[in-house]
Amino acid sequence: YMSYWTHDSFPQWAYALIFTVILYGANLISVKLFGELEFWFSMVKVTAIVGMILICAGILTIGFSDAADTATVSNLWNDGGFFPKGLGGTLMTLQIVMFAFLAVELVGVTAGESKDPEKTLPKAINTVPWRIAVFYVGALIMILSVVPWHEFQPGVSPFVAAFEKMGLGVGAAIVNFVVLTAALSSCNSGMYSTGRMLRDLALNGQGPKFFTKLTKSGTPLIGTSFSAALMLVGVWINYVAPGKAFDYVVSFATISGMWAWIMILVCQIRYRAASDRGDLPKSPFRAPGAPFTSYFALAFIGMVIVMMGVDKDARVSLYCAPLWGLLLGVCYLVMKSRDPRGAAFTKAS
């Protein structure tokens, strides 16, 4: 994103390092600063996407800008239909799509910090589908109606490319800034949530006690630092393989995120079974079609993992996944040996 302005005059890894240090400093200063950053990051994203949808709608109806001559809704199914490269090519993109939705499960993590989780969490979860419909599906429909899919090029943000095709050069620069803030927001949220979850695990007896250490401003010092240190791995990848850095990071983040989703779904299925037997109280907020929707989600994740194995660039993450699983398993066994009765796990549940 930065090379859009600098044209590769500055090393890619240096930008990754600079932004990691900035976000790390912001997270250590105070929770309030984190909230302020996320507020403005979100405001920029939402405003830009809504503005882009309105501009595209104006081009399709009124016909202004350079793209008006070819702008039509039929671009969605012209030039090969919905699967111009075949169904397999479309399925191969699912890992990128799933990466875009990683951390949506963190809505549930906020249960412990919510004043009235039985009301606020269902409300937050129920807004996710329409947010996806407007800001993800809606934005793509409008862009692909204005600019045919075959005019986009790899390595260039489709949002930026769309504004350039429209002849709105200033708008393209603005959208590139928006995409940059979205990436920073993702890193910022990841650093924040990781620090908090590590501290929560430590407080529940499921992690080293030093993760509970706070700064004077109330920020988890060790947890946030640990998260920032892991992000430095991304800086190193940008240094050794700048052309493949995005693919490698996305693949490993996706397989790690899907591991978390699989565990959540398995726990949900077991909880539903226990509540149906009367061993646990029934949840007042049941997923539509449960438990079959949970089984469907597990099958879908399995299909994506298979597609990742087919993709030679994404396959490297599958090589790392067993090592990650082994590390988690060893940590679990160590904890169980220290706590044979599982008091920490009972407390956490």
Q: Residue 139: name the closest of 59, 38, 54 by CA.
A: 54
- What pLDDT shows up at residue 299? 95
pTM of the model: 0.74
- What pLDDT shows up at residue 15? 92
Digit-coded pLDDT (tens) for 51-103:
888 888 888 888 777 777 778 888 888 877 778 878 877 888 888 888 888 87
At residue 335's C-alpha, the angle toward residues 330 and 339, to 5°, is 150
Residue-wise over 38-60: b if at least 16 C-beta within 10 A, else e? eeebeebbeebbeebbebbeebb
Digit-coded pLDDT (tens) for 21-46:
998 988 888 777 777 777 887 788 88
Averaged pLDDT in 10-residue chunks for the chain of 349 residues = 83 91 85 75 82 87 76 84 79 82 74 72 84 87 86 78 76 81 83 85 83 83 90 90 82 83 90 88 83 92 87 78 84 78 56
